[in-house]
Structure 1
Amino acid sequence: MKEESQSLKQIGLFLIYTFSITWLSWLMIIVGNNYFDALWYGEPLFWIPMLIGGLGPAFGSYIMYRKYNKEFGRKSFFKFIFGKKIDRQALLIVGVYLIWRFLMVWMAFGIKEPIAILYMFLNLPLFIIGGGLEELGWRGYLQPKLEKIVNYVPSVLIVGIIWSLWHLPLWLIKGSPQSAIPFGLYLFLGIVLSFTFTTIYKYTKNLLLCVLSHAWLNGCIGLAVYIGSAGYLQLNLTWKVFLVFILELIVSVILGKVYNRKNSIKNNRKNILS
């Protein structure tokens, strides 16, 4: 009970740090849009508060690791992200995911301008900073903490809901891709992707690969985004989109449960032998 109480306290602090950094940064954009005719989506100055806000989960996880582990410095944090060995199985899993994500976007959304694929690779570093590094907080900190309190499926659902709610201010920023999607649908997609990235993390045990997978998602979705008649970014959502995401959800849930089952059996054997 004491351990659960401590985990809840740390989760609460992590969420306070994360949401405060992100929402205050994005609030600057909202205020600039509505009162000063500034910081419009895509302008150079817009990206400063936008990217700082996107790094909220990474900052939150770093603060928490430093707060509760005095020996956890900057070098330790980089080792936490980059230091784990990437074996063939991890590369295979991520490779399959990268191919699936690209083909899924192509099949579900369609890619009208194949030349955009080149720009996606060129912009991949931006996708890492503006999206991929979120994984340091969601999968690197929040998910493991929650699994100490609740079971696997509820913990992933909770992370997916929190992750989606964290994005809420983007619906108040004119021109953002999120503002073109109903929040209920975005919540569903957030839960699906929460299962996907958690499964990748469990099988690879590597945060860097999760970061790259998340960035790749943003890059691939960017291939399907277009500028609508109102001058804002749009995304066509058809039955194909729902079909491929439902398929992804089913596969991710099954793989995650299989992993947890095998891991539980392995731990029980160790306890019996010890």
Structure 2
Amino acid sequence: MKRALGSFLLWTFTITGLCWGGLAILGHWGVLTLAHPAGVVLHLLGGFGPTVGGLWVFCRGGGRLRQVPRLVFVPRRGTWWVVLLFCLAEGAVIALSSRQFNPQIPLSLVPVVFFQAALIYGGNEEVGWRGTMQPLLERAVPFPGAAVVTGLVWAGWHLPLWFVEGASQQTIPFGWFAVLAVLQSFWYGALFRRTRWVFGCNLAHGLTNTLLSLFVIQVNGLLAAGCLLLLAASLVLWYRTPWEAALGEGEKGKRTGRM
């Protein structure tokens, strides 16, 4: 477990550090901006660090690349509705607590924003965080501990973007971002354990990013209560998922904890 986790973190932080760290340095020198096509490419490639890290660990553990599409896109039978229900609940919490649209995001562009967020600007990371790192940690520590550690590492992985001029992360204090990352690790970790569906986590992650763009977020009692209810639901979902159901097909009797 330690070796696999170390390999994942090495690949993840090396790729992202080179891309996002390089973008931050070049921006500071006035050589390259996030709006430049080359800046966009570096930003995009950096976001795939966890994806590459997760795939590396999967293949080194005996998996084959041709197995990846099925492991990512096919949920455990009869569980897709869990992701749908969670997405509806999260959407209701954000909409009811904020109640104000961001005027900079036309409603006609929401499907495009969601598509991008689920596939290339956020959701793509889930092969690494929920498909690899969190299940590995869950083999060694209880779920709450694994979720907190994954969330904090995930937040720290984003840190270079606070030094990239024009990055959306600069609109939110890092402390609040870290709290949200920890909460999401509980939410998505429970969804993955129940469904064994990485793409379901992609969709939930993409929805979160879309909602944060679509609404003017208000930090109030309703938002806090909604997030805590989702947290409680994730704990119930994780602990009520039988061990056999938490393993993917072909993994029973061989507890790999990956994808």
TM-score range, shorter chain: 0.7 to 0.9
Residue 193 of structure 2 is aligned with which of 185, 202, 210? 202
Shift of 1:156: 1.4
Shift of 1:37: 4.6
Aligned-partner Cα distance in 2 for 1:209–1:121: 17
Task: Name the SS for the 2:165 alignment partner.
Answer: coil
- Does residue 82 of structure 2 align to residue 87 of structure 1? no
Shift of 1:78: 2.1
Aligned-partner Cα distance in 2 for 1:98–1:45: 34
Shift of 1:116: 3.1
Q: TM-score, with normalisation over the residues of structure 2?
A: 0.85
* 1:32-181 equivalences in 2 (<5 Å): 32-40=26-34, 42-69=35-62, 72-82=63-73, 84-85=74-75, 87-88=77-78, 90-112=79-101, 116-127=106-117, 128-181=119-172
Q: Which amino acid aligns with 1:32?
A: L
Contact 1:189 1:245 in 2 (8 A): no
- Does residue 18 of structure 2 align to residue 24 of structure 1? yes
Deviations 1:167-192 (A, max 9, x none): 11111122222222222221111111
Aligned-partner Cα distance in 1 for 2:37–2:5: 34
Q: Which residue of 1 aligns with 2:232?
A: 250
Unaligned ranges ≥5, structure 1? 1-6, 226-234
Aligned-partner Cα distance in 2 for 1:176–1:237: 21
Task: Name the SS for the 2:120 alignment partner.
Answer: helix
Task: Name the SS for the 2:3 alignment partner.
Answer: helix
Shift of 1:247: 2.5
Aligned-partner Cα distance in 1 for 2:75–2:7: 30
- Does residue 214 of structure 2 align to residue 214 of structure 1? no
Question: How many residues matched?
Answer: 247
Q: Which amino acid aligns with 1:29?
A: L
Distance change in 2, residues 1:237/1:23 (3 Å): farther
Structure ID, larger Rg: 1
Contact 1:146 1:155 in 2 (8 A): yes
Aligned-partner Cα distance in 2 for 1:134–1:57: 5
Aligned-partner Cα distance in 1 for 2:222–2:75: 37
Q: Which amino acid aligns with 1:171?
A: W
| Alpha-carbon RMSD | 2.6
Higher relative contact order (CA 8 A, sep 6+): 2
Shift of 1:16: 0.8
Q: Which residue of 1 aligns with 2:257?
A: none
Deviations 1:167-222 (A, max 9, x none): 11111122222222222221111111100001111121211211121112111211
Contact 2:72 2:197 in 1 (8 A): yes
Q: Which amino acid aligns with 2:25?
A: V
Aligned-partner Cα distance in 2 for 1:240–1:177: 24
Deviations 1:102-149 (A, max 9, x none): 222212233335873331212333212111111101111111111111
Aligned-partner Cα distance in 2 for 1:163–1:156: 10
Q: If each structure's helix is expressed as a fraction of its own residues, which one has the higher value? A: 1
Aligned-partner Cα distance in 1 for 2:218–2:166: 15
Contact 2:102 2:215 in 1 (8 A): no
Shift of 1:79: 2.5
